[in-house]
Amino acid sequence: MKRSGRFSAAATILAAVGLPFATLGLWSLADRWFFPGLLPQSWGLRAWSYILTSAGGQVVNALWQSVAVAAVTAAAAVLVALPAARALGLYEFRGKDPLSVLLTLPIIVPPLSVAMGLHLWFIRMGLAETFIGVVAVHLTFCLPYAVFVLWGVFANYNPDFESQARSLGASRPAVWLRVMLPMIMPGIVVAGLFAFLLSWSQYLSTLIIGGGRLITLPVLLFALMGSGDRPVAAAVSLVFVMPAFVALLFSARHLGGRSLAGVR
């Protein structure tokens, strides 16, 4: 009973997660797939050979561009969010409530409006069509997410651990490095992952601020989709999902949050 229950739960999750990927997989391997066929009428590796050979350079470049933007954005988001979240989680101060509302603004305002609004400014500051400009516009919504995740972590964090460490002879930097950091590592991983994936999936803001100079994977994907070649778009989509999937697998053991349950 219990076993079959677990089995059906696993099957449901797998089906829900797997089905869209399966469709993408089928499309990427299709040579011809016309309505109303349930499966492609003929198969082939044309799409894959196209993106790996003739368009290969483009795809690999876009892949690296995406990884670089997302990684730098995630690192910056976590670095900036850390002190802010610590203050929000541990201390009471005036203006805390208005500040938290302000933090949600970039999340509820569409990225399109944010990017449009910032574009002019970025042109004036020489940030338009630059790597830093794209990272900066991604940060406008990645940073609030990172702050919210880490805020939750610090709300459950007992600063007495740090006092205890100092009384045991640890200097302030040693406390940060050897007590606080390991203690909140799961939260940092989750916040970083959120920021990474959010940046990874940005299209409009990248296009507007990057001005077509910065070709990330989503930008390339849209261009290929526009060409109407379904199998190629499917193959690029799969390439697009892969790194995110790997990042998720890599950090899965941190997502349970069990290492946070210290002896308080």
Partner 1 sequence: MGSLVLKDLAIHYDRQVVVEDFNLAIGEGEMAALLGPSGAGKTTILKAVAGLLAPTRGDILIDGRAVNTLPPEKRDVVMVFQKPLLFPFMNVAQNIAFGLKMRGDGSERRRTAVSRILELTRLEGLGGRKVHALSGGQQQRVALARALVLEPAVLLMDEPLSNLDANLRQEMRELILSIQSELKITTLFVTHDQSEALMMAQRLALLLGGRLRQAGTPQDLFHRPADPEVARFFGGGNFFKGRLQGGVFECALGRLPVSAASGNGHVRTATIRPEDIQLTLDAAGRPGGLAGRVVRTRFEGTATRAWIECDVHEVMVLTAAGELTLGQEVRLHFPPEKIRVFPEDKASE
For residue 41, the 8-state DSSP code is S
Q: How far is residue 64's CA from residue 58's CA, in Å, rounded to a whole number?
A: 10
Helix (H, G, I), strand (E, B) or coil at 261: coil
Pick the closest to residue 140 from 168, 175, 171, 105 (CA basis).
105
Q: How far is residue 228's CA from residue 119's CA, in Å, rounded to a whole number?
A: 30
Site for partner 1 in 20-49 (CB under 8 A): none
Closest approach of partner 1 to the CB of residue 87, in Å: 17
Closest approach of partner 1 to the CB of residue 88, in Å: 19
Q: Which of 57, 168, 226, 249 binds partner 1 (CB under 8 A)?
A: 168
108 binds partner 1 (CB under 8 A): no
16 binds partner 1 (CB under 8 A): no
167 binds partner 1 (CB under 8 A): yes
97 binds partner 1 (CB under 8 A): no
160 binds partner 1 (CB under 8 A): yes
Q: Which of 169, 226, 227, 249 binds partner 1 (CB under 8 A)?
A: 169
166 binds partner 1 (CB under 8 A): yes
Tokens 């005036």, residue located:
94
Between 61 and 156, name the residue whose CB sits nearer to partner 1: 156
Q: How far is residue 56's CA from residue 2's CA, in Å, rounded to a whole number?
A: 48
Asked if 215 and 62 count as a contact pair (C-beta separation under 8 A), the reply is yes
92 binds partner 1 (CB under 8 A): no
Site for partner 1 in 177-236 (CB under 8 A): 179, 182-183, 185
Pick the closest to residue 59 from 224, 212, 202 (CA basis).
224
Burial letters 167-178, b for 16+ CB under 10 A, else e: eeebeeeebeee
261 binds partner 1 (CB under 8 A): yes
Q: How far is residue 63's CA from residue 44's CA, in Å, rounded to a whole number?
A: 24
Using CB under 8 A as the binding criterion, the count of chain residues that bind partner 1 stands at: 24
Q: How far is residue 264's CA from residue 262's CA, in Å, rounded to a whole number?
A: 6
Q: Which of 20, 44, 212, 262 binds partner 1 (CB under 8 A)?
A: 262
Instruction: Write out the residues near partner 1 by the rule CB under 8 A.
Output: 158, 160-161, 163-172, 174, 179, 182-183, 185, 259-264
